[in-house]
Structure 1
Amino acid sequence: MQLYPIETGNFKLDGGAMFGVVPKSLWQRTNPADANNMIDLAARSLLIEDGNRLILIDTGMGDKQSEKFFGFYYLWGDHNTDRSLARYGFHRDDITDVFMTHLHFDHCGGSIRWNRDRTGYEPAFKNARFWSNRDHWKWATEPNAREKASFLKENILPIEESGQLHFIPAPEPGSDYLEDTELGFGILFADGHTDKQMIPHIRYKGKTLVFAADLLPTTGHIPLPYVMGYDTRPLLTLEEKGRFLDKAASEEYYLFMEHDAHNQVCTLKHTDKGVRLRETHTFDEVFN
Protein backbone atom coordinates (compact mmCIF):
# COMPACT_ATOMS: atom_id res chain seq x y z
CA MET A 1 0.00 0.00 0.00
CA GLN A 2 1.08 3.56 -0.75
CA LEU A 3 -0.63 6.79 0.28
CA TYR A 4 -0.44 10.19 -1.39
CA PRO A 5 -1.84 13.58 -0.31
CA ILE A 6 -3.85 15.14 -3.13
CA GLU A 7 -4.28 18.91 -2.99
CA THR A 8 -7.48 19.76 -4.88
CA GLY A 9 -7.53 23.49 -4.11
CA ASN A 10 -7.72 26.14 -1.39
CA PHE A 11 -10.57 28.41 -0.36
CA LYS A 12 -11.76 30.61 2.50
CA LEU A 13 -14.73 30.59 4.85
CA ASP A 14 -15.97 32.96 7.52
CA GLY A 15 -13.97 32.40 10.70
CA GLY A 16 -16.97 32.91 12.94
CA ALA A 17 -18.95 30.24 11.11
CA MET A 18 -15.98 27.89 11.34
CA PHE A 19 -15.69 28.28 15.13
CA GLY A 20 -19.29 28.67 16.25
CA VAL A 21 -19.63 30.18 19.73
CA VAL A 22 -15.87 30.56 20.31
CA PRO A 23 -14.87 34.27 20.32
CA LYS A 24 -12.64 35.57 17.56
CA SER A 25 -10.12 36.74 20.16
CA LEU A 26 -9.44 33.04 20.83
CA TRP A 27 -9.73 31.32 17.45
CA GLN A 28 -7.69 33.91 15.58
CA ARG A 29 -4.60 32.84 17.54
CA THR A 30 -4.45 29.65 15.45
CA ASN A 31 -6.51 30.63 12.39
CA PRO A 32 -5.92 34.32 11.64
CA ALA A 33 -8.61 36.03 9.59
CA ASP A 34 -8.24 38.47 6.70
CA ALA A 35 -9.97 41.85 6.44
CA ASN A 36 -13.22 40.10 5.48
CA ASN A 37 -13.05 37.78 8.51
CA MET A 38 -12.25 34.84 6.21
CA ILE A 39 -9.77 32.12 7.18
CA ASP A 40 -7.56 29.94 4.96
CA LEU A 41 -8.82 26.43 4.28
CA ALA A 42 -7.73 23.51 2.11
CA ALA A 43 -9.63 20.83 0.26
CA ARG A 44 -7.08 18.04 0.69
CA SER A 45 -7.88 14.53 -0.49
CA LEU A 46 -6.03 11.27 0.12
CA LEU A 47 -5.13 8.72 -2.54
CA ILE A 48 -4.66 5.07 -1.56
CA GLU A 49 -2.78 2.76 -3.92
CA ASP A 50 -3.49 -0.79 -2.81
CA GLY A 51 -2.75 -3.54 -5.29
CA ASN A 52 -4.77 -2.82 -8.42
CA ARG A 53 -7.02 -0.31 -6.67
CA LEU A 54 -6.63 3.45 -6.54
CA ILE A 55 -9.00 4.86 -3.92
CA LEU A 56 -9.54 8.62 -3.67
CA ILE A 57 -11.01 9.92 -0.41
CA ASP A 58 -13.09 13.05 -1.12
CA THR A 59 -12.78 15.19 -4.25
CA GLY A 60 -12.93 18.87 -3.22
CA MET A 61 -15.24 21.44 -4.81
CA GLY A 62 -14.55 20.68 -8.45
CA ASP A 63 -14.77 23.39 -11.09
CA LYS A 64 -18.28 23.19 -12.59
CA GLN A 65 -20.02 25.81 -10.45
CA SER A 66 -20.55 29.39 -11.59
CA GLU A 67 -18.13 32.26 -11.14
CA LYS A 68 -20.66 33.78 -8.72
CA PHE A 69 -20.67 30.59 -6.63
CA PHE A 70 -16.90 30.41 -6.37
CA GLY A 71 -16.82 34.13 -5.58
CA PHE A 72 -18.31 33.33 -2.17
CA TYR A 73 -15.36 31.08 -1.32
CA TYR A 74 -12.34 33.19 -2.31
CA LEU A 75 -10.37 30.48 -4.09
CA TRP A 76 -6.61 30.94 -3.77
CA GLY A 77 -3.40 29.14 -4.66
CA ASP A 78 -2.63 27.00 -7.70
CA HIS A 79 -3.49 23.48 -6.51
CA ASN A 80 -5.84 21.30 -8.52
CA THR A 81 -6.69 17.62 -8.65
CA ASP A 82 -5.17 16.79 -12.02
CA ARG A 83 -1.80 18.36 -11.27
CA SER A 84 -1.70 16.74 -7.87
CA LEU A 85 -2.47 13.28 -9.29
CA ALA A 86 0.09 13.79 -12.07
CA ARG A 87 2.76 14.56 -9.47
CA TYR A 88 2.58 10.89 -8.46
CA GLY A 89 2.17 9.53 -11.98
CA PHE A 90 -1.61 9.10 -11.98
CA HIS A 91 -4.55 10.33 -14.08
CA ARG A 92 -8.14 10.68 -12.94
CA ASP A 93 -9.12 7.81 -15.28
CA ASP A 94 -6.89 5.53 -13.18
CA ILE A 95 -9.07 5.97 -10.09
CA THR A 96 -11.02 2.79 -9.29
CA ASP A 97 -12.93 4.03 -6.22
CA VAL A 98 -14.05 7.41 -4.87
CA PHE A 99 -14.93 7.35 -1.18
CA MET A 100 -16.97 10.34 0.00
CA THR A 101 -16.84 11.07 3.73
CA HIS A 102 -20.04 13.04 3.22
CA LEU A 103 -21.80 14.91 0.45
CA HIS A 104 -21.28 18.58 1.29
CA PHE A 105 -20.12 20.41 -1.85
CA ASP A 106 -16.54 20.97 -0.66
CA HIS A 107 -16.10 17.22 -0.19
CA CYS A 108 -17.86 15.77 -3.25
CA GLY A 109 -18.17 18.57 -5.83
CA GLY A 110 -15.17 17.27 -7.73
CA SER A 111 -16.89 13.91 -8.24
CA ILE A 112 -19.07 15.28 -11.04
CA ARG A 113 -18.22 17.56 -13.97
CA TRP A 114 -19.87 19.02 -17.06
CA ASN A 115 -20.03 16.73 -20.08
CA ARG A 116 -18.15 17.70 -23.22
CA ASP A 117 -20.82 20.02 -24.67
CA ARG A 118 -22.02 21.29 -21.26
CA THR A 119 -25.53 19.95 -21.74
CA GLY A 120 -25.41 17.78 -18.63
CA TYR A 121 -23.20 16.17 -16.02
CA GLU A 122 -21.01 13.08 -15.90
CA PRO A 123 -18.71 11.38 -13.37
CA ALA A 124 -15.33 13.12 -13.22
CA PHE A 125 -13.74 9.69 -12.57
CA LYS A 126 -15.28 7.59 -15.31
CA ASN A 127 -13.86 4.25 -14.21
CA ALA A 128 -14.56 4.59 -10.48
CA ARG A 129 -17.14 3.26 -8.11
CA PHE A 130 -18.47 6.01 -5.84
CA TRP A 131 -19.00 5.13 -2.17
CA SER A 132 -21.44 6.67 0.31
CA ASN A 133 -23.82 5.04 2.80
CA ARG A 134 -27.59 4.65 2.60
CA ASP A 135 -28.48 6.79 5.61
CA HIS A 136 -26.29 9.68 4.56
CA TRP A 137 -27.46 9.44 0.95
CA LYS A 138 -31.08 9.77 2.11
CA TRP A 139 -30.09 12.67 4.38
CA ALA A 140 -28.39 14.48 1.48
CA THR A 141 -31.05 13.85 -1.18
CA GLU A 142 -33.88 14.91 1.17
CA PRO A 143 -32.00 17.82 2.78
CA ASN A 144 -33.08 19.83 5.79
CA ALA A 145 -33.34 23.60 5.37
CA ARG A 146 -30.10 24.21 7.24
CA GLU A 147 -27.94 22.00 5.01
CA LYS A 148 -29.76 22.47 1.71
CA ALA A 149 -27.16 24.96 0.45
CA SER A 150 -24.39 22.41 1.09
CA PHE A 151 -26.10 19.44 -0.58
CA LEU A 152 -26.16 20.49 -4.23
CA LYS A 153 -28.20 18.17 -6.42
CA GLU A 154 -25.83 18.58 -9.37
CA ASN A 155 -23.04 17.09 -7.21
CA ILE A 156 -25.12 14.18 -5.96
CA LEU A 157 -27.88 12.94 -8.26
CA PRO A 158 -25.64 12.35 -11.32
CA ILE A 159 -23.63 9.84 -9.26
CA GLU A 160 -26.71 7.66 -8.85
CA GLU A 161 -27.82 8.23 -12.44
CA SER A 162 -24.43 7.01 -13.69
CA GLY A 163 -24.93 3.59 -12.14
CA GLN A 164 -21.59 3.95 -10.34
CA LEU A 165 -22.99 4.53 -6.83
CA HIS A 166 -22.30 1.95 -4.13
CA PHE A 167 -23.08 1.93 -0.42
CA ILE A 168 -20.86 1.08 2.53
CA PRO A 169 -22.79 -1.13 4.99
CA ALA A 170 -23.80 0.27 8.35
CA PRO A 171 -21.94 -0.88 11.48
CA GLU A 172 -23.55 -3.36 13.84
CA PRO A 173 -26.38 -1.97 16.00
CA GLY A 174 -24.95 -0.16 19.01
CA SER A 175 -21.60 0.46 17.31
CA ASP A 176 -20.27 3.52 15.49
CA TYR A 177 -17.28 1.72 13.93
CA LEU A 178 -17.06 -0.60 10.95
CA GLU A 179 -13.90 -2.66 11.27
CA ASP A 180 -13.67 -4.43 7.93
CA THR A 181 -14.63 -3.02 4.55
CA GLU A 182 -13.78 -4.10 1.04
CA LEU A 183 -11.83 -0.84 0.67
CA GLY A 184 -9.27 -2.06 3.17
CA PHE A 185 -9.79 0.43 6.00
CA GLY A 186 -12.01 0.86 9.03
CA ILE A 187 -14.66 3.58 9.26
CA LEU A 188 -15.92 5.63 12.20
CA PHE A 189 -19.46 6.94 11.70
CA ALA A 190 -20.20 10.35 13.23
CA ASP A 191 -23.50 12.25 13.27
CA GLY A 192 -22.81 15.65 14.84
CA HIS A 193 -21.65 17.52 11.73
CA THR A 194 -24.05 15.78 9.38
CA ASP A 195 -25.82 12.44 9.52
CA LYS A 196 -23.49 9.45 9.10
CA GLN A 197 -20.27 11.21 8.13
CA MET A 198 -17.60 8.53 7.58
CA ILE A 199 -14.09 8.87 9.03
CA PRO A 200 -11.55 6.42 7.50
CA HIS A 201 -8.94 4.78 9.75
CA ILE A 202 -6.02 3.43 7.71
CA ARG A 203 -3.21 1.21 8.96
CA TYR A 204 -0.08 2.30 7.12
CA LYS A 205 3.59 1.65 7.80
CA GLY A 206 2.90 0.59 11.37
CA LYS A 207 0.82 3.68 12.15
CA THR A 208 -2.88 4.56 12.17
CA LEU A 209 -3.68 7.45 9.86
CA VAL A 210 -7.15 8.94 10.30
CA PHE A 211 -8.74 11.08 7.60
CA ALA A 212 -10.30 13.63 9.93
CA ALA A 213 -12.73 15.27 7.44
CA ASP A 214 -15.13 17.59 9.30
CA LEU A 215 -14.91 15.86 12.65
CA LEU A 216 -11.73 17.92 13.13
CA PRO A 217 -11.47 20.53 10.35
CA THR A 218 -8.17 22.18 11.39
CA THR A 219 -5.65 21.90 14.19
CA GLY A 220 -7.23 25.06 15.58
CA HIS A 221 -10.38 23.03 16.32
CA ILE A 222 -8.73 20.63 18.76
CA PRO A 223 -10.04 22.20 22.02
CA LEU A 224 -13.33 20.47 22.74
CA PRO A 225 -15.72 23.49 22.60
CA TYR A 226 -14.30 24.63 19.24
CA VAL A 227 -17.19 23.31 17.15
CA MET A 228 -18.22 24.66 13.76
CA GLY A 229 -21.39 26.68 13.38
CA TYR A 230 -22.11 24.42 10.39
CA ASP A 231 -22.63 21.33 12.58
CA THR A 232 -26.26 20.25 12.71
CA ARG A 233 -26.01 18.70 16.20
CA PRO A 234 -23.23 20.58 18.05
CA LEU A 235 -23.83 18.88 21.40
CA LEU A 236 -23.50 15.50 19.73
CA THR A 237 -20.30 16.73 18.05
CA LEU A 238 -18.96 17.49 21.54
CA GLU A 239 -19.55 13.88 22.59
CA GLU A 240 -18.21 12.32 19.40
CA LYS A 241 -15.22 14.63 19.23
CA GLY A 242 -14.39 14.06 22.90
CA ARG A 243 -14.27 10.29 22.45
CA PHE A 244 -12.32 10.61 19.23
CA LEU A 245 -9.70 13.03 20.60
CA ASP A 246 -9.15 10.90 23.68
CA LYS A 247 -8.59 7.77 21.58
CA ALA A 248 -6.44 9.61 19.05
CA ALA A 249 -4.13 10.88 21.80
CA SER A 250 -4.02 7.58 23.70
CA GLU A 251 -3.39 5.42 20.61
CA GLU A 252 -1.05 7.92 18.93
CA TYR A 253 -3.07 8.35 15.76
CA TYR A 254 -1.75 10.51 12.96
CA LEU A 255 -4.56 12.79 11.81
CA PHE A 256 -4.74 13.72 8.13
CA MET A 257 -6.19 17.23 7.99
CA GLU A 258 -8.53 17.77 5.06
CA HIS A 259 -9.23 21.46 5.69
CA ASP A 260 -6.12 22.77 7.44
CA ALA A 261 -4.41 24.82 4.73
CA HIS A 262 -1.09 24.95 6.58
CA ASN A 263 -0.81 21.57 8.33
CA GLN A 264 -1.20 18.24 6.54
CA VAL A 265 -0.81 15.89 9.51
CA CYS A 266 -0.93 16.30 13.28
CA THR A 267 -0.66 14.26 16.47
CA LEU A 268 -2.30 14.87 19.84
CA LYS A 269 -1.43 14.58 23.53
CA HIS A 270 -3.23 14.53 26.87
CA THR A 271 -2.74 17.61 29.09
CA ASP A 272 -4.27 19.01 32.26
CA LYS A 273 -6.48 21.15 30.03
CA GLY A 274 -7.64 18.24 27.92
CA VAL A 275 -6.37 16.89 24.62
CA ARG A 276 -4.11 19.32 22.82
CA LEU A 277 -1.86 19.46 19.77
CA ARG A 278 1.39 17.54 20.08
CA GLU A 279 3.07 18.13 16.72
CA THR A 280 2.32 19.05 13.13
CA HIS A 281 4.04 17.43 10.16
CA THR A 282 4.03 17.36 6.42
CA PHE A 283 2.84 14.03 5.10
CA ASP A 284 6.29 13.21 3.74
CA GLU A 285 7.96 13.85 7.11
CA VAL A 286 5.94 11.07 8.67
CA PHE A 287 5.53 8.53 5.91
CA ASN A 288 8.42 8.92 3.46
Structure 2
Amino acid sequence: MQLKTIDVGPFKLDGGAMFGVVPKTIWQRTNPADDRNLCEWALRCLLIEDDNRLMLVDTGTGDKQNDRFFAFYDLPNGKTLTSEIERAGYAASDVTDVLLTHLHFDHAGGAVHYADTDRTILAPTFANATYWVHGEQWHWAMTPNPRERATYLRENLLPLQESGQLAFTNERDHGLSGLELLYVDGHTEKMTLPKIQYAGRTLLFCADLIPSASHVPIPYVMGYDIRPLVAMSEKEHYLEQAVDGDWILVFDHDPYVEAAVLERTEKGIRVKQSGRLAELL
Protein backbone atom coordinates (compact mmCIF):
# COMPACT_ATOMS: atom_id res chain seq x y z
CA MET A 1 0.00 0.00 0.00
CA GLN A 2 1.06 3.57 -0.75
CA LEU A 3 -0.50 6.79 0.57
CA LYS A 4 -0.28 10.31 -0.83
CA THR A 5 -2.12 13.48 0.11
CA ILE A 6 -3.20 15.96 -2.54
CA ASP A 7 -4.54 19.45 -1.87
CA VAL A 8 -6.74 21.26 -4.37
CA GLY A 9 -7.18 24.27 -2.07
CA PRO A 10 -6.87 26.88 -0.81
CA PHE A 11 -10.39 28.16 -0.47
CA LYS A 12 -12.08 30.33 2.15
CA LEU A 13 -14.87 29.81 4.65
CA ASP A 14 -16.30 32.00 7.38
CA GLY A 15 -14.23 31.69 10.55
CA GLY A 16 -17.24 31.91 12.84
CA ALA A 17 -18.99 29.09 11.00
CA MET A 18 -15.86 26.94 11.18
CA PHE A 19 -15.45 27.36 14.94
CA GLY A 20 -19.04 27.61 16.16
CA VAL A 21 -19.29 29.05 19.67
CA VAL A 22 -15.52 29.49 20.09
CA PRO A 23 -14.80 33.26 20.27
CA LYS A 24 -12.95 34.90 17.40
CA THR A 25 -10.36 36.25 19.84
CA ILE A 26 -9.29 32.62 20.36
CA TRP A 27 -9.55 31.04 16.92
CA GLN A 28 -7.95 33.91 15.02
CA ARG A 29 -4.66 33.16 16.80
CA THR A 30 -4.25 30.05 14.66
CA ASN A 31 -6.54 30.85 11.73
CA PRO A 32 -6.51 34.60 11.01
CA ALA A 33 -9.49 36.00 9.13
CA ASP A 34 -9.51 38.55 6.32
CA ASP A 35 -11.66 41.69 6.27
CA ARG A 36 -14.70 39.56 5.33
CA ASN A 37 -14.16 37.24 8.33
CA LEU A 38 -13.05 34.48 5.96
CA CYS A 39 -10.22 32.11 6.86
CA GLU A 40 -8.09 30.14 4.40
CA TRP A 41 -8.58 26.38 4.36
CA ALA A 42 -7.27 23.36 2.50
CA LEU A 43 -9.19 20.94 0.28
CA ARG A 44 -7.10 17.90 1.12
CA CYS A 45 -7.80 14.51 -0.43
CA LEU A 46 -6.04 11.20 0.02
CA LEU A 47 -4.82 8.68 -2.54
CA ILE A 48 -4.57 5.04 -1.44
CA GLU A 49 -2.76 2.68 -3.81
CA ASP A 50 -3.26 -0.99 -3.01
CA ASP A 51 -1.99 -3.50 -5.59
CA ASN A 52 -4.01 -2.76 -8.75
CA ARG A 53 -6.46 -0.42 -6.98
CA LEU A 54 -6.19 3.35 -6.59
CA MET A 55 -8.73 4.91 -4.25
CA LEU A 56 -9.26 8.66 -4.02
CA VAL A 57 -10.81 9.87 -0.76
CA ASP A 58 -12.89 13.02 -1.38
CA THR A 59 -12.71 15.29 -4.43
CA GLY A 60 -12.74 18.94 -3.32
CA THR A 61 -15.10 21.50 -4.85
CA GLY A 62 -14.52 20.75 -8.52
CA ASP A 63 -14.61 23.55 -11.09
CA LYS A 64 -18.07 23.39 -12.66
CA GLN A 65 -20.00 25.93 -10.58
CA ASN A 66 -20.49 29.47 -11.85
CA ASP A 67 -18.34 32.49 -10.98
CA ARG A 68 -20.90 33.88 -8.53
CA PHE A 69 -20.91 30.64 -6.55
CA PHE A 70 -17.13 30.38 -6.40
CA ALA A 71 -16.68 34.05 -5.49
CA PHE A 72 -17.99 33.27 -2.01
CA TYR A 73 -15.04 30.93 -1.48
CA ASP A 74 -12.23 32.79 -3.29
CA LEU A 75 -12.21 30.20 -6.05
CA PRO A 76 -11.01 29.22 -8.60
CA ASN A 77 -7.41 29.05 -7.40
CA GLY A 78 -5.70 27.70 -10.54
CA LYS A 79 -5.61 24.07 -9.37
CA THR A 80 -7.68 21.20 -10.68
CA LEU A 81 -8.22 17.79 -9.14
CA THR A 82 -6.94 15.90 -12.16
CA SER A 83 -3.81 18.04 -12.48
CA GLU A 84 -2.96 17.49 -8.81
CA ILE A 85 -3.46 13.73 -9.24
CA GLU A 86 -1.07 13.89 -12.19
CA ARG A 87 1.40 15.82 -10.04
CA ALA A 88 1.24 12.92 -7.57
CA GLY A 89 2.26 10.54 -10.37
CA TYR A 90 -1.08 9.15 -11.54
CA ALA A 91 -3.65 9.73 -14.27
CA ALA A 92 -7.37 10.20 -13.80
CA SER A 93 -7.88 6.93 -15.66
CA ASP A 94 -5.86 5.14 -12.94
CA VAL A 95 -8.45 5.87 -10.25
CA THR A 96 -10.49 2.72 -9.62
CA ASP A 97 -12.43 3.88 -6.56
CA VAL A 98 -13.62 7.19 -5.14
CA LEU A 99 -14.68 7.24 -1.49
CA LEU A 100 -16.81 10.27 -0.64
CA THR A 101 -16.75 10.86 3.11
CA HIS A 102 -19.96 12.84 2.64
CA LEU A 103 -21.66 14.77 -0.13
CA HIS A 104 -21.20 18.41 0.87
CA PHE A 105 -20.01 20.39 -2.14
CA ASP A 106 -16.44 20.87 -0.86
CA HIS A 107 -15.99 17.11 -0.61
CA ALA A 108 -18.03 15.82 -3.55
CA GLY A 109 -17.89 18.68 -6.08
CA GLY A 110 -14.93 17.25 -7.96
CA ALA A 111 -16.63 13.88 -8.41
CA VAL A 112 -18.42 15.19 -11.51
CA HIS A 113 -17.15 17.40 -14.32
CA TYR A 114 -18.25 18.80 -17.65
CA ALA A 115 -17.37 16.20 -20.25
CA ASP A 116 -17.61 18.59 -23.23
CA THR A 117 -16.13 21.95 -24.14
CA ASP A 118 -19.60 23.56 -24.29
CA ARG A 119 -20.11 22.71 -20.58
CA THR A 120 -23.45 21.04 -21.15
CA ILE A 121 -22.76 17.35 -20.43
CA LEU A 122 -22.07 16.31 -16.84
CA ALA A 123 -20.32 13.00 -16.19
CA PRO A 124 -18.23 11.35 -13.46
CA THR A 125 -14.70 12.77 -13.45
CA PHE A 126 -13.22 9.28 -13.10
CA ALA A 127 -14.67 7.09 -15.82
CA ASN A 128 -13.08 3.86 -14.54
CA ALA A 129 -14.00 4.32 -10.88
CA THR A 130 -16.67 3.02 -8.54
CA TYR A 131 -17.97 5.85 -6.36
CA TRP A 132 -18.59 4.85 -2.75
CA VAL A 133 -20.83 6.59 -0.19
CA HIS A 134 -23.01 5.40 2.68
CA GLY A 135 -26.58 4.81 1.52
CA GLU A 136 -28.11 6.88 4.32
CA GLN A 137 -25.83 9.83 3.49
CA TRP A 138 -26.99 9.55 -0.12
CA HIS A 139 -30.65 9.59 0.93
CA TRP A 140 -29.93 12.51 3.27
CA ALA A 141 -28.38 14.45 0.39
CA MET A 142 -31.16 13.66 -2.06
CA THR A 143 -33.84 14.81 0.41
CA PRO A 144 -31.93 17.62 2.14
CA ASN A 145 -33.00 19.49 5.23
CA PRO A 146 -33.14 23.32 5.04
CA ARG A 147 -29.88 23.64 6.99
CA GLU A 148 -27.84 21.65 4.45
CA ARG A 149 -29.78 22.20 1.23
CA ALA A 150 -27.31 24.77 -0.13
CA THR A 151 -24.38 22.35 0.07
CA TYR A 152 -26.02 19.25 -1.43
CA LEU A 153 -25.96 20.13 -5.13
CA ARG A 154 -27.85 17.83 -7.49
CA GLU A 155 -25.31 18.36 -10.26
CA ASN A 156 -22.67 16.77 -8.00
CA LEU A 157 -24.84 13.74 -7.32
CA LEU A 158 -27.23 12.71 -10.08
CA PRO A 159 -24.57 12.01 -12.75
CA LEU A 160 -23.03 9.44 -10.39
CA GLN A 161 -26.33 7.61 -10.07
CA GLU A 162 -27.13 7.88 -13.78
CA SER A 163 -23.71 6.52 -14.78
CA GLY A 164 -24.18 3.28 -12.85
CA GLN A 165 -20.87 3.90 -11.05
CA LEU A 166 -22.44 4.57 -7.63
CA ALA A 167 -22.12 2.00 -4.82
CA PHE A 168 -23.16 2.13 -1.16
CA THR A 169 -20.64 1.14 1.50
CA ASN A 170 -23.36 -0.28 3.74
CA GLU A 171 -24.44 -2.67 0.97
CA ARG A 172 -21.16 -3.73 -0.68
CA ASP A 173 -17.59 -4.33 0.49
CA HIS A 174 -15.04 -1.86 -0.91
CA GLY A 175 -12.50 -4.68 -1.05
CA LEU A 176 -9.35 -2.75 -0.07
CA SER A 177 -7.22 -4.52 2.50
CA GLY A 178 -6.16 -2.49 5.51
CA LEU A 179 -9.07 -0.05 5.15
CA GLU A 180 -11.90 0.13 7.70
CA LEU A 181 -14.77 2.59 7.43
CA LEU A 182 -16.11 4.35 10.53
CA TYR A 183 -19.39 6.27 10.51
CA VAL A 184 -20.33 9.37 12.48
CA ASP A 185 -23.51 11.46 12.57
CA GLY A 186 -22.67 14.76 14.27
CA HIS A 187 -21.55 16.73 11.24
CA THR A 188 -24.04 15.13 8.87
CA GLU A 189 -25.78 11.79 8.54
CA LYS A 190 -23.38 8.83 8.22
CA MET A 191 -20.19 10.68 7.36
CA THR A 192 -17.45 8.16 6.59
CA LEU A 193 -14.00 8.21 8.22
CA PRO A 194 -11.44 5.92 6.54
CA LYS A 195 -9.22 4.18 9.10
CA ILE A 196 -6.10 2.79 7.45
CA GLN A 197 -3.45 0.33 8.60
CA TYR A 198 -0.19 1.34 6.95
CA ALA A 199 3.48 0.67 7.72
CA GLY A 200 2.64 -0.55 11.20
CA ARG A 201 0.65 2.60 12.02
CA THR A 202 -3.04 3.47 12.20
CA LEU A 203 -4.18 6.53 10.26
CA LEU A 204 -7.56 8.23 10.46
CA PHE A 205 -8.74 10.60 7.73
CA CYS A 206 -10.83 12.88 9.92
CA ALA A 207 -13.07 14.46 7.28
CA ASP A 208 -15.20 17.13 8.98
CA LEU A 209 -15.26 15.50 12.41
CA ILE A 210 -11.90 17.18 13.09
CA PRO A 211 -11.28 19.37 10.03
CA SER A 212 -8.02 20.89 11.28
CA ALA A 213 -5.47 20.63 14.06
CA SER A 214 -7.09 23.74 15.56
CA HIS A 215 -10.29 21.71 16.03
CA VAL A 216 -8.74 19.02 18.26
CA PRO A 217 -10.11 20.49 21.55
CA ILE A 218 -13.46 18.81 22.13
CA PRO A 219 -15.66 21.96 22.31
CA TYR A 220 -14.26 23.21 18.98
CA VAL A 221 -16.98 21.98 16.64
CA MET A 222 -18.26 23.72 13.55
CA GLY A 223 -21.38 25.80 13.19
CA TYR A 224 -22.07 23.63 10.15
CA ASP A 225 -22.57 20.51 12.32
CA ILE A 226 -26.19 19.41 12.38
CA ARG A 227 -25.83 17.70 15.78
CA PRO A 228 -23.03 19.52 17.65
CA LEU A 229 -23.38 17.60 20.92
CA VAL A 230 -23.21 14.32 19.01
CA ALA A 231 -20.16 15.62 17.14
CA MET A 232 -18.45 16.40 20.45
CA SER A 233 -19.18 12.92 21.80
CA GLU A 234 -17.94 11.24 18.61
CA LYS A 235 -14.84 13.40 18.64
CA GLU A 236 -14.02 12.52 22.23
CA HIS A 237 -14.49 8.82 21.47
CA TYR A 238 -12.03 8.79 18.58
CA LEU A 239 -9.56 11.20 20.17
CA GLU A 240 -9.23 8.82 23.12
CA GLN A 241 -8.60 5.92 20.75
CA ALA A 242 -6.11 8.01 18.77
CA VAL A 243 -4.04 8.79 21.87
CA ASP A 244 -4.13 5.23 23.18
CA GLY A 245 -3.22 3.78 19.79
CA ASP A 246 -0.75 6.50 18.72
CA TRP A 247 -2.82 7.09 15.59
CA ILE A 248 -1.88 9.62 12.94
CA LEU A 249 -4.77 11.98 12.18
CA VAL A 250 -4.99 13.41 8.64
CA PHE A 251 -6.84 16.74 8.38
CA ASP A 252 -8.87 17.59 5.30
CA HIS A 253 -9.13 21.37 5.78
CA ASP A 254 -6.05 22.46 7.73
CA PRO A 255 -4.08 24.90 5.54
CA TYR A 256 -0.87 24.44 7.54
CA VAL A 257 -0.90 20.93 9.03
CA GLU A 258 -1.44 17.75 7.02
CA ALA A 259 -1.31 15.34 9.91
CA ALA A 260 -0.67 15.04 13.64
CA VAL A 261 -0.26 12.68 16.57
CA LEU A 262 -1.82 13.50 19.94
CA GLU A 263 -1.12 13.42 23.66
CA ARG A 264 -3.01 13.94 26.91
CA THR A 265 -2.28 17.19 28.73
CA GLU A 266 -3.69 19.04 31.73
CA LYS A 267 -5.98 20.90 29.32
CA GLY A 268 -7.17 17.73 27.60
CA ILE A 269 -6.07 15.98 24.42
CA ARG A 270 -3.84 18.19 22.29
CA VAL A 271 -1.49 17.93 19.32
CA LYS A 272 1.85 16.40 20.27
CA GLN A 273 3.58 16.48 16.89
CA SER A 274 2.41 17.73 13.52
CA GLY A 275 3.73 17.96 9.98
CA ARG A 276 3.40 16.38 6.60
CA LEU A 277 2.02 12.86 6.54
CA ALA A 278 5.23 11.50 5.02
CA GLU A 279 7.26 13.00 7.86
CA LEU A 280 5.12 11.46 10.59
CA LEU A 281 5.34 8.06 8.93
Aligned amino acid, residue 22 of structure 1: V
CA contact (8 A) 2:131 2:166 kept: yes
Aligned amino acid, residue 22 of structure 2: V
Aligned with 2:210 (options 197, 205, 216) = 216
Return closer, same or farther for 1:60/1:208 CA change in 2, 3 Å cut-off.
Answer: same
- Aligned position for 1:128: 129
- The one-character-per-residue Cα deviations of 1:83-137 (angstroms, maximum 9, x if unpaired) are 3212232111110000000000000100001121322310010110000111111
- Aligned position for 2:35: 35
Aligned amino acid, residue 230 of structure 2: L
What is the deviation of 1:7? 1.5
Aligned amino acid, residue 184 of structure 2: A
- Aligned position for 2:167: 166
- Aligned position for 1:61: 61
- Aligned position for 1:177: none
Return closer, same or farther for 1:79/1:267 CA change in 2, 3 Å cut-off.
Answer: farther
- Number of corresponding residues: 279
Structure 2 CA distance, aligned partners of 1:112 and 1:219? 29
CA contact (8 A) 1:10 1:79 kept: no
- Aligned position for 1:98: 98
- Asked whether 1:271 is paired with 2:272, we answer no
What is the deviation of 1:29? 1.5
The answer to which of 76-85 and 141-150 deviates more is: 76-85
Indicate the percent of aligned positions where both proteins have the same amino acid: 49
- Asked whether 1:235 is paired with 2:222, we answer no
Aligned amino acid, residue 148 of structure 1: R
Aligned amino acid, residue 19 of structure 1: F
CA contact (8 A) 2:9 2:44 kept: yes
Structure 2 CA distance, aligned partners of 1:170 and 1:251? 29
- Aligned position for 1:207: 201
What is the deviation of 1:6? 1.3
What is the deviation of 1:249? 1.3
Structure 2 CA distance, aligned partners of 1:286 and 1:201? 16
The answer to which of 160-169 and 81-90 deviates more is: 81-90
Flag structure 2 segments of 5+ consecutive residues without an equivalent.
none
The answer to which of 13-22 and 69-78 deviates more is: 69-78
- Asked whether 1:86 is paired with 2:86, we answer yes
CA contact (8 A) 1:9 1:80 kept: no
CA contact (8 A) 1:269 1:276 kept: yes
What is the deviation of 1:74? 1.2
Instruction: Give the 3-state SS of the residue equivalent to 2:204 in structure 1.
Output: strand
- The one-character-per-residue Cα deviations of 1:160-202 (angstroms, maximum 9, x if unpaired) are 011000010279xxxxxxxx85233111100000000000000
- Asked whether 1:194 is paired with 2:188, we answer yes
- Aligned position for 1:148: 149
TM-score by length of 1: 0.93
- Aligned position for 2:71: 71
Aligned amino acid, residue 103 of structure 1: L
- Aligned position for 1:45: 45
TM-score by length of 2: 0.96
Aligned amino acid, residue 98 of structure 1: V
Aligned amino acid, residue 277 of structure 2: F
What root-mean-square deviation, in Å, do the aligned CA atoms of Structure 1 and Structure 2 show? 1.5
Return closer, same or farther for 1:73/1:270 CA change in 2, 3 Å cut-off.
Answer: same
Mapping 1:107-122, distance limit 5 Å: 107-116=107-116, 117-122=118-123
What is the deviation of 1:76? 7.0
Structure 2 CA distance, aligned partners of 1:262 and 1:3? 19
The answer to which of 70-79 and 18-27 deviates more is: 70-79
